[in-house]
Amino acid sequence: MHNSVDALFTGLWQDFCQHAPSAEKIHALLASKNEAIVNDHIALRTFNLSPIGLDTLAAHFLHLGYQAKGEYHFKTKKLYARHFEHPDPLQPKVFISELLVEQVSPQLQTLIKGKLAKLDSALTQQDSFLYSGRAWDLSTEEYQLASQESEYAAWLLAHGFRANHFTVSVNHLTAFEQLSEVNDELKQAGFALNKAGGEIKGGADVMLAQSSTLADVVDVHFADKTMAIPGCFYEFAQRFRNKKGQLYTGFVEASADKIFQSTDQT
């Protein structure tokens, strides 16, 4: 177990950058404007099966002082999620989702359960498990089979365990007042944004505005060949204050639903 939040997030970030090469370029772009980048949150994906369910992943953060907060339901994507916060508001929030495997087709259930059957539960006790990648063989045919039914399941089967995205806190940027300004800067620099549900999801009315790049296409080694598929992406979040003047710290289901699509193949 890592003994500090910083050590865990350093490991997660280094792994994430290998699957989202544009993240470091965006970091450099913002750093060139003398921005100190604060990470709003990360997101992790899993299946609701032993020994890797949401609670297993969450335990790694709970022992570092994180506390469970909101819960979210994505019925069409067959997902359940929770988010976790650290008492230190400058530490990143953590958004963990899990696929409700019992709700997918028998074929996909069989595929997922077969891959997890050989997983050593002892590995899941180590913090490095959160960025350990894929612990099973997967063919391109199995990947395509999964993606026809669930892009989420296909991504998770192909990439395994790692941060699906990190998130720049727009509130902590000094050269940009609005998320739209950040988006304009990114587009001028040639980065492609996720337009599902609009370039900006949410807004001041729901106290959270979000945008994200489309996932970088990266080479993944499958059992039969290497194929280029969507990897990880970078998100940008602007939070607003409620009537009491408190900054909103939760997430918005309708917006998160569209953010998931940053890793879709189409």
pLDDT, tens digit (0-9, with 9 covering 90-100), for 211-233 = 999 999 999 999 999 999 999 99
133 Cβ partners below 8 Å, 6+ apart? Answer: 15, 159, 160, 161, 162
Domains, the chain, in order of start with CATH, read 5-263 (3.10.180.50)
pLDDT band at 121 (very low <50, low <70, confident <90, very high): confident
> Buried b vs exposed e over 48-68: b needs ≥16 C-beta within 10 Å?
bbeebbbebbbebbeebebee
pLDDT band at 1 (very low <50, low <70, confident <90, very high): low
CB-side neighbour CA atoms (13 Å) of 164: 26
Q: What is the mean pLDDT of residues 9-30?
A: 95
Higher pLDDT, 80 or 254: 80
Which pLDDT tens digit goes with each residue over 134-171? 999 999 999 999 999 999 999 999 999 999 999 999 99
Share of the chain above pLDDT 70, in %: 99
**Token match 């259930």: residue?**
109
**Token match 């999964």: residue?**
146
**Token match 């899990």: residue?**
98
pLDDT band at 2 (very low <50, low <70, confident <90, very high): low
Residue type for position 48: N
Q: Please name which of 232, 236, 185 lies closest in space to residue 208, comparing C-alpha atoms.
A: 236
DSSP conformational letter for 160: -
Which pLDDT tens digit goes with each residue over 53-76? 999 999 999 999 999 999 999 999
Give the predicted TM-score (pTM) of the model.
0.96
DSSP conformational letter for 133: B
